[in-house]
């Protein structure tokens, strides 16, 4: 269970493809490259392990491309650690990592709750961020997930959970505005926290941010929508 000054944040949902991994990398880049925070990422999204595989691919590319290695050295920023761990073992992994000099640990959780010891694992983190899409089946699934967090995880004995928030991701210009607004109104009426910032559907964002854990996509993480979401997330992380 997380202790002391280290903040632990899980990106979680009840549906794959909602944007957990991409936003985990995005927040990691903002914390590491812009805010100069000491962070670590734990990839618990078996069997995909997207973030872990991205890091492994990048390390191989550095070893075989001197110009890329020179670029990495020139930015004078050590790589933040990326570890892989089974979700059911997360409390033990956090216990070990919190002994290090870190500010924040980010967790990319699996897109399902059908995992052994899921209650213990989710209640071992300080904050949970849940991406939402304005699509009916996805919304139904993640609203049930938010209820699970509120009515179960948040009430676990000795929970470390301080807050959980949802945010709108992949918002299409053609999205049903009424569905989005009515869902947001419902969530808030039921006491759920929803970040104000909404991230539009963008292939550029998905590709650029989700492509690297060693180099920042500065144009993307300085995008107004991403900056707004990052500010809201940091306000929660460092002040609750």
**CATH numbers and ranges of domains, the chain:** 7-239 (3.40.50.300)
pLDDT per position as a tens digit, 136-168: 888 889 999 999 999 999 999 999 999 999 999
What is the C-alpha to C-alpha distance for residues 165 and 213, in angstroms, rounded to an integer? 24
Question: What average pLDDT does this structure show over 194-198?
Answer: 94
Q: How confident is the model at residue 3 (pLDDT cuts 50, 70, 90)?
A: very low
Is the predicted pLDDT of residue 234 greater than 80, yes or no? yes
Q: How confident is the model at residue 88 (pLDDT cuts 50, 70, 90)?
A: very high
Q: How confident is the model at residue 82 (pLDDT cuts 50, 70, 90)?
A: very high
Question: What average pLDDT does this structure show over 178-204?
Answer: 87
Q: What is the pLDDT of residue 2?
A: 43
The whole-chain average pLDDT of the chain stands at 89
C-beta pairs of 54-59 under 8 Å, 24+ apart in sequence: 54/25, 54/210, 54/211, 54/212, 54/213, 55/79, 55/82, 55/213, 55/214, 58/212, 58/213, 58/214
Question: What average pLDDT does this structure show over 84-113?
Answer: 94
pLDDT per position as a tens digit, 7-37: 999 999 987 778 899 999 999 999 999 999 9
Is this prediction's pTM over 0.95?
no
Instruction: Name the DSSP letter for residue 42.
Output: E
pLDDT per position as a tens digit, 35-51: 999 999 999 999 999 99
Of residues 211 and 199, more confidence is placed in 199
Name the CA dihedral angle for 144, 112, 166, 125, rounded to a multiple of 10 degrees. 120
Of residues 10 and 226, more confidence is placed in 10
| H or E element at residue 130 | strand 127-132
């Amino acid at each position: 269970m997380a202790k002391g000054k280290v903040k632990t944040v899980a990106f979680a949902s009840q549906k794959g493809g909602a944007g957990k991994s991409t936003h985990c990398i995005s927040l990691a880049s903002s914390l590491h490259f812009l805010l100069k925070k000491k962070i670590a990422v734990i990839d618990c999204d078996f069997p995909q392990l997207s973030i872990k595989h991205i890091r492994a691919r990048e390390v191989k590319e550095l070893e075989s491309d001197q110009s890329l290695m020179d670029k990495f050295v020139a930015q004078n920023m050590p790589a933040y650690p990326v570890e892989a761990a089974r979700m059911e073992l997360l409390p033990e992994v956090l216990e070990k990592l919190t002994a290090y000099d870190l500010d924040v640990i980010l967790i990319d959780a699996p897109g399902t709750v059908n995992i052994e010891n899921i209650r213990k694992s989710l209640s071992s983190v300080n904050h949970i961020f849940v991406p939402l899409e304005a699509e009916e089946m996805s919304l139904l699934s993640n609203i049930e997930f938010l209820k699970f967090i509120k009515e179960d995880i948040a009430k676990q004995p000795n929970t470390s959970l301080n807050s959980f928030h949802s945010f709108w991701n992949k918002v299409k210009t053609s999205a049903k505005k009424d569905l989005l607004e009515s869902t947001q109104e419902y969530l808030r009426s039921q006491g759920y926290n929803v970040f104000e910032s909404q991230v539009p559907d963008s292939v550029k964002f998905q590709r650029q941010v989700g492509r690297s854990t060693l180099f920042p996509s500065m144009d993307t993480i300085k995008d107004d929508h991403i900056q707004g979401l990052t500010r809201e997330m940091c306000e929660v992380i460092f002040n609750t």
